[in-house]
Every structure is written in C-alpha cells, then in structure tokens.
Structure 1
Amino acid sequence: MKAILMTAIGGSNVLIEQEIAEPTLATSTEIKVHLHAAGVNPVDAKIRKSGLFYPNAKLPAVLGCDGAGEIVAIGTDVTDFKIGDKVWFCNGGLGREQGNYAEFTTIDQRWASLMPNVNYQTAAAAPLALITAWGALFERGLLQSGETILIHAGAGGVGHVAIQLAKIAGAKVITTVSSNAKADFVKSLGADEIIFYNQTDVAAEVNRLTENRGVDLVFDTVGADVFKASIACTAHFGRIVTLLDASNLDLNEARMRNLSIGFELMLTPMLRDLDLERDKHVSLLKKCANFIDTEKLNIHVSHILSLTEAKNAHDLIETGNTMGKLVLSI
C-alpha cells in the first residue's frame, strides 16, 4: 500500500512516499480500515522535527493520529462494527502503532467510533482537536454555563472547536485573532468578543470587557508568553489551562490570585496506555458526532491535500496561520 514515511528527524523533506506492506488483523478484536482521509496536526510536525515519542521506536514510521475510513475486515470477536461501517478515530502515529498517512490501518474496535454524517475529510480532521478542546474546557477547566472564557487563537484547529463547545455549554466567549478574515470566521462560530492580539494589549482589553474582573477561564493554545500575559486578565480564583510547556515562568501573580493551573495533553492516555481514559475519548467522539449531526458543531477544513502532498501540509501547518484544520485525502 502507499504510505508516507518519516524517514529521519528533520524538515518536511524527510516525509517520503513509499510502498509498504498492507497491515493484517493481529487480534480477534481488531478492525481493518481503508483510510480515506488523515488529519494533520501540529504534533505531527513536532514529532517529525524532534523524534518519535516512544523511547525504543525506530524509523521509518507512519505519522498521523487522526483517521477516517471504511471497515474492510473484522476480527472474529468484533461485536461493535461490521464490514462497510464508516469510522473515525485518534490512534497511532506516535512511533509505536502505525499512523494514518497511509491507505490502510488496523485498530482495536475499542478505539474506533462510527462517523457523524459528514465526509471522510471532515471526520478525519476532528478527533484530536475535539478531545483536546473538550478536555481543556470541561475536564481541566471545569467551564460552567454563564462563565466567561478567553480562548487564544480562536481561528485555529483546536480554537475553533473550543469556541463552539463553550457556546454549547452556555459560556460567554472572548477570543483572539490576527486578521479580519479570522475575525469574521470566529464571529460565525459564535464568539461574543474578538480581540486583535497584534493590535491590542490583550490583557487590558479583556479587563475592560469584564469590568476589571477578568475571565473565569483562560484556554492557552499558543505558549509561554501568552500564558504569562493571561495571568493579569484571569479572575481571582479563576483557572488557566494550557496545551504547552509553562515551566520557568514567574507565577507569583498567579499564586496571589489563587489561580488553578491545568495542562491538557490528550495524547497521555495513548502514551501511557491508560485504557479507561481512552474509553472516555471514544465516548466523547460519540457525543460530538451528535453535535455535528444536529448542526451544533462545525468542523472547518481549510485545506485538503492529497496523500502525496504531506510535505506541503506540514509546511502549511508550521506557518501557524491556517484557519481550522488541514487534511490529507487518500
């Protein structure tokens, strides 16, 4: 089968299309999926530049955590699916199990879920972003109806999902963007207040909008500088959740405000084999499939590229300027 292999640690040119052996069912509870699309996420580029996440993993490897496709074979003990079912999932791509930049994959039935009523490209774009945003807002951030949340980079892959989930939950959303096009985009998703971070002191504007109270929850999808600046616009006894490393920061003001600080890394259950936590991820995909089918949630795919264009997809995602998600169509 055709696959894109990460052949070394380095730039996007280490992603090479090759023919590799088609996977076969290894256990009685596995399903074999003909992949029609694979989501491209920033973590894919991080792995490519820094190395596989498992200490004993060896190159070459197939990247890509997010996938969607049609089941073409099932193990003898598979009870949840049948041949022909359309499924989406977040599995593999970290250096142990095969990722989804390929024509076929195998996965235990436990980690797959029936797709919502969308095309394969939209379905493949969603799992990692959905699980990340949900975990940050509700598992770590404890967001409640009536609260106010600041979502940084609201037009991004995770950010645009977080805006919609926050609105479904009944929260008021303030978000940051860098352009008029992105402002129009996040407004269409339901954002209540929009701040141009490249033109305005974000913390000062948030405090103005909240009458100097600050927001109940900050969701940082950007990094240490944004995290640090957000402390000044988080309400006393509020919460900050970040996706990134916030070490070596002066947290004196956060301590004075009695802030709760949380970290969201949705890959932890896969990396640490925390199966019960992964079960929660699958349950969440089922819940979000209903949101999508009832048009409460929209997954925006800004770029669809072919499998052979994986290098270009990595180049695009590393610019940090894309809206929504990037997908490889297979």
Structure 2
Amino acid sequence: MKAFVINAFGPADVFEKVEMPTPQAAAGQLLVQIAATAINPLDYKLRRGDIPAFTHDFPAILHGDFAGIVSAVGAGVQGFAVGDAVYGCAGGVRGRQGALADYMLADAALVAHKPQNLSMAEAAAMPLVLLTAWEGLIDTAAIKPGDRVLVHGGTGGVGHIAAQLAKWQGAKVYTTVGTAEKAELSREYGADQVINYREQDVASYVERYTDGVGFDVVVDTVGGETFEQSLLATRVGGRIITVLAMGKLDMTVAWARKQTVHCVNMTWPMATSVGMEHHGFILREGAKLAESGKLRPLLDSQRFSFSEVAAAHVYAESGQALGKVSLTRD
C-alpha cells in the first residue's frame, strides 16, 4: 500500500511517500480502506517532535482522524462488516499506525459507522474534536440546561463542536472569535452570543453577559494566556475545561474562587488501550446527532489530497483555516 511517513521529526516537508505491506486485521481489529483524514494540532505537533513520547515509531504514519470503508474484519469483532462506511480516531500515536495511507488498522472499539448524511471528508473531520468536546462538556463538566457556557475559539476544531454540543444540552452558548467573518460562522454553529475578543476584554464581557458573576463553564481550546483569562471569566465554584494544559500555569484564581479545572486528553485511550469502548460510544452518539441535524463539522474551503500533505500541514499551522483542514486519498 502507499503511505506518507516521517522518518524523523521536522517541518512539513519531512513527509515521504513510500510503499509498505498492507497490514492484516488481527482479533478485535478492522482493516479500513481510507478515504479521507483531517489535520488536528496534535498531528503537526507530533510531526515536529513536540510530544515525542506519544509519537509512533519511525517510519511513522501520522493522523488519527479518518473515514473509509471496512476492508476486513478481525476475529471476535461484532457490529461491522466488509463494505461498511466508518469513521473514528484510532491511530497516529504510540504504536498505532495513522490514517495517511491506503489502509489503516483500527481497534474496532475506536470506530463507529459513519453518519449517513456526511461525506467522507466531513466525517473524517469530526472524531478527535467530537471526542474532546464530549469528554469535557458531557462526561466531565456535566453541563445542564440553562448553564452559561463560554467556548473560546468558536470556529476552531474543538470550539465549533463544543458550541453545538452545549446547545444540544440546553445551555446558553457564548463563543469568542477574532473577526466579523468568524462571528457570523460561529452563530451558524451553535453560538447564542459571539464575543470579539479584540474588542472586549474579559471584565467587560463578563459584566455584559453575566452581570459580573461569571460563566458556569468555560472551555479553553487555546491554552496559555487564554487559560488564565478563562479562570477570570468563570464564576465562583464554576468549571473550566482545558485541552492544552501545558507548561507553567498560574492556578491562584482557581484556588481563590473555588473553581474546578478539568484537563482533557482524548489520546489516552489510544495510547494506553484504556477506555476505548467509551470512544466508540461517543462516536455512535455523535453520528446520531449529525444525522438529526444537531451536529455538523466545519471544513475549510481549501481542500487537499494525501500527496499534498506537506502543503496541508503548512496551511493548518498558519492559522488561516476556518474550521478543519481535510485531505482525501489520491
């Protein structure tokens, strides 16, 4: 099979096109013929070597998100058959082959049937961000109807899915964005109120939208300074979800205001094989929401093929994309 691999950490042009043996499905596994994948920040961080402990051994096939057709079913697998259209996030990290290839081995527990109303490219854009947003808002923060939920980065990968999940749960949804174009998009993807962070500081929008009390739940999809701003935006006793709790973080405000900080790392089941079945459950629930019109992925208008993976990574890292950057197999 054809695959795009890295044999060392480096810039986007480190990818090499190679021929590799097609893997065989073992017990509990599916062999999926890949149709599409999508780029998450995790993918280019792994390529650069930012998180070496989580990287697949060289030659490494990156990318966890995929959509495709089941080509073979391993022993003991139930609920899937050859020819099924599926999606998931099942590789590209520590010992698991990724999706930048003709075929990918995936633990069946990490896979679900593709939403019928989504294209392969659309479905491939959903898994990682859906799993992250669900683990944060549904599993951990346990949001409920009437909660005021602030999502930073309303048109980002995790952000636009988090906003839609919060809306589905009956929350009042607020998002932050940096442009008028993104504000309009964010309203289309779940936001009740959109805040331009370039025009309003934290104190101003907390006063305007919560009478100075603060939001019940804040989702930090950016990290760094935004994490500290999230603490200031959250009410006393409120909850903060962060997907990028890296480096040194000042927790003084969280302590003083009795807040709870939840860290989400959806790669853990892939890296450890612990909790994989729950990921399959989330993907099945996400497919139902997509098919009922309550959840849809935001894809950037610029599309790429697998052979253009270097250009796709450059574009994704540039910060110019509106939504997810997708790639379809040549």
Tell me which interval the TM-score lies in, with the shorter structure as reference length: over 0.9
Question: Following TM superposition, by how much is the alpha carbon of 1:254 offset from its aligned partner in structure 2, in angstroms?
Answer: 1.7
Q: Distance in 2 between matches of 1:46 and 1:216?
A: 31
Q: Secondary structure at the match of 1:9?
A: coil
Quote the residue 1:143 is aligned against. Answer: 143
Q: Secondary structure at the match of 1:258?
A: coil
Structure 1 alignment gaps of length 5 or more: none
Quote the residue 1:219 is aligned against. Answer: 219
Within 5 Å, give how 1:8-23 maps onto structure 2.
8-23=8-23
Question: Following TM superposition, by how much is the alpha carbon of 1:251 offset from its aligned partner in structure 2, in angstroms?
Answer: 2.3
User: Does structure 2 conserve the Cα–Cα contact (< 8 Å) formed by 1:241 and 1:263?
Assistant: yes
1:55–1:157 Cα change, 3 Å = closer
Residues paired across the two proteins, number: 327
User: Does structure 2 conserve the Cα–Cα contact (< 8 Å) formed by 1:11 and 1:48?
Assistant: yes
Question: Following TM superposition, by how much is the alpha carbon of 1:136 offset from its aligned partner in structure 2, in angstroms?
Answer: 1.2
Within 5 Å, give how 1:1-330 maps onto structure 2.
1-25=1-25, 27-50=26-49, 53-54=52-53, 57-117=56-116, 118-245=118-245, 247-274=247-274, 277-302=275-300, 303-330=302-329
Question: Following TM superposition, by how much is the alpha carbon of 1:76 offset from its aligned partner in structure 2, in angstroms?
Answer: 4.2
1:225–1:51 Cα change, 3 Å = closer
Name the stretch that deviates more: 100-109 or 35-44.
100-109
Question: Following TM superposition, by how much is the alpha carbon of 1:250 offset from its aligned partner in structure 2, in angstroms?
Answer: 2.8
Question: Following TM superposition, by how much is the alpha carbon of 1:199 offset from its aligned partner in structure 2, in angstroms?
Answer: 2.5
Question: Following TM superposition, by how much is the alpha carbon of 1:78 offset from its aligned partner in structure 2, in angstroms?
Answer: 3.1
Q: For each residue in 1:265-290, what CA deviation from the matched residue of structure 2 results, as whole angstroms up to 9, or x when unmatched?
A: 1111221221xx21111101111101
Q: Distance in 1 between matches of 2:68 and 2:20?
A: 19
Q: Distance in 1 between matches of 2:41 and 2:253?
A: 30
Q: Distance in 1 between matches of 2:319 and 2:52?
A: 22
1:30–1:269 Cα change, 3 Å = closer
User: Does structure 2 conserve the Cα–Cα contact (< 8 Å) formed by 1:144 and 1:171?
Assistant: yes
Question: Following TM superposition, by how much is the alpha carbon of 1:69 offset from its aligned partner in structure 2, in angstroms?
Answer: 0.6
Q: Distance in 1 between matches of 2:106 and 2:162?
A: 27
1:203–1:136 Cα change, 3 Å = farther
Match for 2:131: what amino acid?
A: I
Q: Distance in 2 between matches of 1:56 and 1:186?
A: 33
Identical counterparts, % of pairs: 35
Question: Following TM superposition, by how much is the alpha carbon of 1:112 offset from its aligned partner in structure 2, in angstroms?
Answer: 1.6
Question: Following TM superposition, by how much is the alpha carbon of 1:229 offset from its aligned partner in structure 2, in angstroms?
Answer: 1.6
Q: Distance in 2 between matches of 1:293 and 1:232?
A: 37
CA RMSD of aligned residues (A): 1.7
